[in-house]
Amino acid sequence: MSIPFPICRPVTLAALAGLSFGVSAHAAGDPIRGAQAARTCIACHSFAPGRNMTGPSLAGVWGRKAGTADGFARYSEALKQSGLVWDEQHLDAWLKNPAALVPGTTMTFPGIADARTRADLLAYLKAVSSGRVSVPDRGPPNLKQADASSRVTSMRYCGDTYRVTTADRKTYAFWEFNLRFKTDGSADGPAAGKPVIVHTGMQGDRATVIFSRPDEISGFIRRECTR
């Protein structure tokens, strides 16, 4: 009934097993342990090239000037004006306390206090950026390929209720507060005029309808009450 959104996973430990000899991160960082530490990053970042999420893709971050990831437009002015280059020293300081390194940053991550964990994560980032590790793109699925149970064919609104009908001819009723509308204009987003529903509530009482563009939303929803 819903499209599962796979979580981006760090590369397998087996693929990293032979890399520690080639990484020179300080404090003898271990990229194998770093792959595990990177799990804290994947809620907001992808390690796949060009896959920007809440934050920019971390592919190729090593040696990149701060605030310059291709296709990412949500950097804070503070970071864009910082002049930093993401080398070992600056990445370590950023991972320790982003707000202390760049006052005014919109990065909400509080930082990693443990120096060993930071060193491991640096080793992993360096290995990924150098191309010695190929990280599969496990981002959200292509919504253009959504199945009938997720393709929205009509939406009706009455009182405090939305009724969403999908291509498999099923209709779901949602309290208006529990239904969210989002847009995804990327190559993996839904086709124009063909929104997709993603169920998010553990009890089936919450969902998100994803449109291709914001101007589709109001025109797609009909004000209609049925008995």
Position 74, amino acid: R
Query: What residues contact 89, with CB distance under 8 A and at least 6 apart?
Result: none
Model pLDDT, residue 15? 46
Q: Are strands 207-211 and 196-199 parallel, antiparallel or unpaired?
A: antiparallel
3-class DSSP state of 181: strand
For residue 157, give both structure tokens: 């609104």
Q: Are strands 179-183 and 161-166 parallel, antiparallel or unpaired?
A: unpaired
Model pLDDT, residue 162? 96
Query: What residues contact 18, with CB distance under 8 A and at least 6 apart?
Result: none
Task: Report, in this order, helix, strand and coil percent for the chain, each rounded to 5.
Answer: 30, 15, 55
179-183 β-sheet, strand order: 179-183, 207-211, 196-199
What is the rounded CA–CA span in Å between residue 23 and residue 199? 42
Model pLDDT, residue 202? 64
Q: What angle do CA 108, 112, 117 make, to 5 degrees?
A: 145
Model pLDDT, residue 24? 41
Q: Which ranges constitute the DSSP H helices of 147-216?
A: none
**Which residues make beta-bridge pairs with 65?**
85
Instruction: Walk along the chain (227 residues) in steps of 10 and give the mean pLDDT of each run.
Output: 41 44 54 86 84 89 94 93 95 95 92 93 90 63 89 95 95 94 90 92 83 95 84
Model pLDDT, residue 50? 82
**Which residues make beta-bridge pairs with 198?**
208
Structural domains of the chain, ranges and CATH numbers in brackets: 13-130 (1.10.760.10), 143-223 (no CATH)
